[in-house]
Structure 1
Amino acid sequence: MGFQASTWWWIATGILVATELYTGTFYLLMLAVGTACAALSAHAGLGSVGQMITSALVGGLAVTLWHRRQLAQRSHEPLAPAGHNPDVLLDIGQQVQVDAWQPGGQATVRYRGASWQARYAGSATPQAGPHTIRGVEGSTLLLDA
């Protein structure tokens, strides 16, 4: 039992899709689009060289366009410094209780079972009460009301 060329292309497409699902590498899905187009060109009667060229062109173009799209999206996102980036520091956005502020906007707060130095980073006059962590500089929490 011999397979037709289109069957081999469909098998390659299935392998690429399965591998993409396992690894999460979206680029493999773009290559699978190329192999699927090669399978369709085999069904249309295109020769083996034409099928390979179709796979390479469509898959390569899809990968290139996806990569450019990803780069364009990343270039529009402003990168926050690590001390103010909630993707880097999970403490950002958490609440702490400030019992009293010292002169200069300094305080000592309990957070995660330890005493931390804190500095007021807001624009208003600091008041005792709940505050939100807006950043971290060294071991000092930057707080805002």
Structure 2
Amino acid sequence: MIGLIWWFAAGALIVAELFTGTFYLLMIALGLIAGGIAFVMGALAHVQIGAAALVALIAVAVLRRSRFGNWKRPNDASRDAAVNLDIGATLQVEQWRDGRARAMYRGAQWDVELAPGESEGARLYRITALDGNRLIVAAKR
């Protein structure tokens, strides 16, 4: 009866993994399966626990180094062209006042601000980010 705990715990983690989608619970379930196999082979309790812990640690370490475990933080949406389709678009700015201007873009007047390190010398600018309702622009090269 005690040996069934390994299998029930592994099954519970596999079911829980279906709700999270991170693969880490599957790696820990692999460790529990290793503990269950050690039980079936007649190992003592401390050997079963050691096998479960060792396999789980190795599996988590391998997952962490794989492309599935290396989750990147989400990109800043204000600079992500996949989120804001205006990023990368071109607009014309007639007159600047201290790095700020008003410009016509998509049929409306927008507040425009120069990106850090950019100069007011160009006429055509590329949108690099959105900050609220302001377009952050850089000179188009």
On whether the aligned pair clears a TM of 0.5, the verdict is yes
Partners of 1:40 and 1:93 in 2: CA distance: 57
User: What is the correspondence of 1:81-100 to structure 2 with a 5 Å cutoff?
Assistant: 82=76, 85-86=79-80, 90-91=83-84, 93-94=86-87, 98=91, 100=92
| AA aligned opposite 2:47 | G
Match of 1:8 among 5, 9, 13: 5
Determine if contact 2:103/2:110 at 8 Å carries over to the other structure: yes
Q: CA deviation at 1:141?
A: 0.5
Partners of 2:53 and 2:5 in 1: CA distance: 15
Determine if contact 2:87/2:129 at 8 Å carries over to the other structure: no
Partners of 1:93 and 1:45 in 2: CA distance: 65
Q: CA deviation at 1:39?
A: 1.6
Match of 2:95 among 99, 103, 112: 103
- In structure 1, the partner of 2:56 is 59
Normalised by the size of structure 1, how large is the TM-score? 0.60
Match of 2:28, SS state, is helix
RMSD between aligned alpha carbons?
A: 4.2
1:43 aligns with 2:37: no
Cα distance change of structure 1 residues 83 and 52 upon mapping to structure 2, 3 Å threshold:
closer
Match of 2:10, SS state, is helix
Amino-acid identity (%): 27
The CA deviation string for residues 18-45 of structure 1, in whole angstroms up to 9 with x for no partner, is: 1011123432122111001112222322
Give the gaps of 5 or more residues in structure 2: none
The CA deviation string for residues 37-70 of structure 1, in whole angstroms up to 9 with x for no partner, is: 112222322223211221122213433x158538
Greater share of residues in helix: 1
Q: CA deviation at 1:13?
A: 1.1
Determine if contact 1:109/1:118 at 8 Å carries over to the other structure: no
Partners of 1:132 and 1:11 in 2: CA distance: 58
Partners of 1:20 and 1:115 in 2: CA distance: 49
Give the gaps of 5 or more residues in structure 1: none
